[in-house]
Copies of this chain bind each other. A is one copy, B any other.
Amino acid sequence: MLVLDQVLENGTEHAELLPATNDNHGGVIVDMEEAMDSEVFVTSLRASISRWRQQGKKGIWIKLPIGLVNLIEPAVGEGFWYHHAEPNYLMLVCWISETTSTIPANASHRVSIGAIVLNDKREVLVVQEKSGRFQGTGVWKIPTGTVDEGENIFMAAKREVEEETGIETEFLEILAFRQSHKMFFEKSDLFFICMMRPLSFDIQTQELEIEAAQWMPFEEYAAQPFAQQHELFKYITDICLAKVQGDYTGLSQIPVTSFFNDKLSCLYLNSRDLNNYLASSDQA
């Protein structure tokens, strides 16, 4: 953290530097928290940029909470542009180095899950939603939902099922996934179809989003017109039958240490095929 201090800018004026922390890529992050007059901000920003140039800094990030919306226009006036935004802040960025910019791409995909929860009687857990595309259609569908920022896909599947129906589950496999584009504005969507084993059986419907929920014989679910008419749902039904009656294997999850930040991340792979190979190569 560079402390707020006085710097001689161009030999003519004193200006307080903006508070900044170094990132891991030769840049700095300015996390603005306190309200500031926009003219004072511009003076400090210019002095800070001058200092960062001397230090050989490259990418300059400015995070502005929505309460400091008055500082966006002056930052853009000094050459900053938008990187990403969340409801309560805007992240601006500027590349002040002569080298080629390595500013990372913004997030481009939303990630969602559909959870197939099958019990021993070969009944599937289905819901009717109070809003959305299927509202009022009478269609019984599998629980679906959006993966939260920072949430593992398999955990999102467990959470959504429990939130919507009260049923606890164990994640087994990702059976398949779909990538589609322009789902909202220019953004894309990855939809992961997760196979789950129920650990409880008494349904508690969530009132806000769910009209009704039940265990439904799989054949009855698959016989619904929407599941017959739409290519994606037909595939899901077939894959599900192949999983139950045949020898279909999807991708199961293993925690691995991330190469980049030493945190745990999740690797999804065909464990059956890999383990078969490793067992056979051990014997050889």
- B83 touching A82, Cβ below 8 Å: no
Please give, as numbers and ranges, the residues of chain B lying within 8 Å of A280 by CB-CB distance: 246
- B107 touching A150, Cβ below 8 Å: no
Question: Chain B's nearest CB lies how many Å from the CB of A250?
Answer: 6
**Given A179-B153, A245-B277, A260-B133, A147 contacting B108 (CB threshold 8 A):** yes
- Out of B180, B254, B257, name the residue touching A260 (CB < 8 Å): B180
- A256 touching B269, Cβ below 8 Å: no
- B105 touching A110, Cβ below 8 Å: yes
- A87 touching B81, Cβ below 8 Å: yes
A14 at the interface (CB under 8 A from B): no
Count of interface residues, chain A, beta-carbon cutoff 8 Å:
90
Of the listed stretches A44-52, A65-73, A116-124, A213-221, name the one at the interface; the rest are far from the partner chain: A65-73
Contact with B along A55-94 (1 / 0, CB 8 A): 0000000000010011011001000011111111111000
Report the copy number of this chain in the oligomer: 2
Dominant SS at the A interface? Answer: mixed
- Out of B84, B268, B269, name the residue touching A85 (CB < 8 Å): B84
- B180 touching A265, Cβ below 8 Å: yes
**Given A91-B185, A109-B110, A260-B133, A176 contacting B273 (CB threshold 8 A):** no
Identify which of residues 207-247 in chain A touch chain B, using a CB-to-CB cut-off of 8 Å. Answer: 208, 230-233, 235, 238-239, 241-242, 245-247
Question: Chain B's nearest CB lies how many Å from the CB of A210?
Answer: 13
